[in-house]
A and B are shown apart, each in its own frame.
Chain A
Amino acid sequence: MRRLGYRIAAVAVVTVTAAGVAAVRATASTEPAAVGRMVAGTASLAPASSPADLAVQFEALLGQHSVLAANMMRSRFRGDDDFVQAANASLGKNTNDMTALVGQLFGDATAQKFRPLWSEHVVTLFAYAGALADHDDAARSEALEELTEYEGELAAFFSGASQGRLPLATARSLVVMHIEHLTGQADAYAAGNYAKADALSRAGFQHTYDLGLGLAKALLPPSDTKVLDEPVWRLRSQLGKLLAEHAVLIEDATRAAVTRTPDFTASGQSLNANTSDIAAAIDTLFGAPAARQFQTLWAAHVEALVSYAAATASEDSARQQAARDKLNGFEQTMGKFLSGATNGRATPAVMAAALSEHDRMLLEHADAYAGKQYAKAHDIAYQTYDHMFHLARTLADAFGRAVAERLPKGGAQTGFGGMAGIVEQN
């Protein structure tokens, strides 16, 4: 009966997904989230409905799916109070958004085929986590068998929609890896190996994020996706992935901090790995001195957010306020740093406001989760991810333009003509 209850709850996610698709599709192209609009309004952006734009959105949603699915599986294993809300508020919405985007990218007929396939694999991942929780090896084997079946079906779907650009074997290996990351992290989590669980979860996020772009490039006509290989689009995609991951890892660490769970240590390590990756990206763009300055500021930001969550767990209002004060300082200082890095393309005030919004949402997320307002917490987490996606786009464009100003001009004078007779023959 217990397992039946959970299974029904998971199916409810699917039905919510089904009911919401039409509404989401109707608004997705014209109604960006409020937080996204706030950031998007601060810099000139390309039209958000170009195939390349939709492809970048698609990879972000796929990356988010990976995180939400991992969260759902862990929540199901732990038997959290909030697991139903987690699934309904986030995973179902993500599936809705993805289906809507599939419709925009590849047409309604493709979206209609995509949704049930995708939803079923989510349900089976849920069943797999339930089997782990119940130590039911037979149910786990059954779930694995079903997942293997879905791997084939999803791979056939993607390969078929690609008009030969994505071989079936390649599609299958990509889907299999996605499933293995999720079941692997669930296995590790169930075994109490949180470091392995988080490492697999992080790898899964990155794989799935990149998979989204790969699928878009395979399924869309090459003429629509050629621009995605250009540096500006690569930077948008890559910075989007790094900053989106920051948001989900902060939220993951926050949940562990407010509930005092021992998996916090692994969450913190993942968070630190992401912080180092972002600093390395700043090094690529602006050099080592700027990267070190950035990381010092960013580290203070991350520590303040974690400190706030820990203070919330211990109901230490003075420490909470201290964390808020530190965040206020960070927002101003980082706003100036980013404005300087972008040669004023992003003003300190606009950057500080965007960072303030980011922090506000993360603090509210911590408050909501600690207060067991799970639906609200997951809704905020979803918005935070969306906000970070748009902020990353704004930053990528501003960074790219700032770096372009100091690039060499014209070609290189690397010849004197002594071998012109031969060189000209080549």
Chain B
Amino acid sequence: MHRFAALLVVALALVAGCGPEKNTPAPPSSAAGANPADSFESSTTYETVARPVRIRIPALEVDSKIIDLGLRKDGSVEVPPSVAEAGWWDGGPRPGQDGPAVILGHVDSSDGPGIFINLHKVRAGTVVEVDRADGSTATFKVTKVSRVAKTRFPTDLVYAPSLDPTLRLVTCGGSFDQARGSYRDNVIAYAAAA
């Protein structure tokens, strides 16, 4: 604070008429030559991210190919036809691209486990790897896991766009509603780029 007070005192000298002087280093000017701005061309490309083709979660012994998923007629997300495969919702970002990529998998079939039977067991720090069609791999670490009623599914938190390169893994959980033939909850693992 005392330094600031001292600087204020110095500033009064400026009011009294001490103006700044021009410095000696020559500005890096090329006024006499060609202007580099004359040949400027704007970028017309950007770095794209390839489609996801495989997911691996070593801690859960998950290793599956990934298929593309769209929307059903009722507006809900499609799910993989096989309980042994994961699916990527292709209406959103690709894993590793800016934004939330969403991969879904079944918790079970009618008589056995599905690929995400143990998704509820992941913890903060669990590694998720997603291979892409160009041979690259995007690596994520789980940040949190939650279980929510499907009637209160957090569409915003799972799907809504931001520019953070994140991943969401979705499966079923909770109690099974025999009348409807479906689980009442979804288990959601949130992961961020590692």
Contact = CB atoms under 8 A, between A and B. Distances in A.
A239 interface: yes
A239 B163 CA distance: 8
Contacts of B41: 303
Contacts of A419: 107-108, 112-114, 117
Interface in A399-424: 399-400, 403-404, 406-420, 422-424
DSSP majority for the B interface?
loop
Contact of B42 (A264, A275, A281, A426): A275
Contacts of B97: 280, 283-284
Contact of A116 (B4, B106, B174, B183): B4
A344 to B, nearest CB: 19
Given A284-B161, A407-B159, A415-B171, A78 B27 contact: yes
Contacts of B20: 5-6, 8-9, 83-84
Contacts of B181: 416-417
B160 A415 contact: no
A415 B35 contact: no
A59 B81 CA distance: 46
Interface residues of A, number: 98
A14 interface: yes
A9 B21 CA distance: 9
B125 interface: no
Nearest to A1: B21
Contact of B174 (A78, A268, A288, A424): A424
A5 B20 CA distance: 4
Interface string A112-151: 0000100110010000001001100000000000000000
B23 A235 contact: no
Interface stretch (A62-70, A93-101, A162-170, A291-299): A291-299
A409 B157 contact: no
Interface string A2-33: 10111111011011001000000000000000
A216 B33 CA distance: 48
B134 interface: no
A403 B109 CA distance: 32
Contacts of B25: 77-79, 133
Nearest to A282: B46
Chain B, interface residues (CB within 8 Å), range:
35 or more
A173 interface: no
Given A7-B10, A260-B35, A283 B91 contact: no
A320 to B, nearest CB: 13
Contacts of A409: 74-76, 155
A260 B29 contact: yes
Contact of A412 (B29, B76, B113): B76
Given A120-B3, A314-B35, A417-B178, 13 more contacts: A231-B157, A234-B163, A242-B163, A260-B30, A264-B40, A273-B43, A407-B159, A409-B155, A412-B150, A415-B172, A415-B183, A418-B108, A423-B108
Interface of A: 1-2, 4-9, 11-12, 14-15, 18, 76-81, 83-84, 116, 119-120, 123, 130, 133-134, 192, 230-232, 234-235, 238-239, 242, 253, 256-257, 259-265, 268, 271-273, 275-277, 279-281, 283-285, 288, 291, 295-296, 298-300, 302-303, 306-307, 309-310, 313-314, 399-400, 403-404, 406-420, 422-424, 426
Interface of B: 1, 3-4, 7-8, 10-11, 13-14, 18-25, 27-31, 33, 35-38, 40-48, 71, 74-77, 79, 83, 89, 91-93, 97-100, 104-114, 116-117, 120, 148-151, 153, 155-157, 159-164, 170-176, 178, 181-183, 185-186
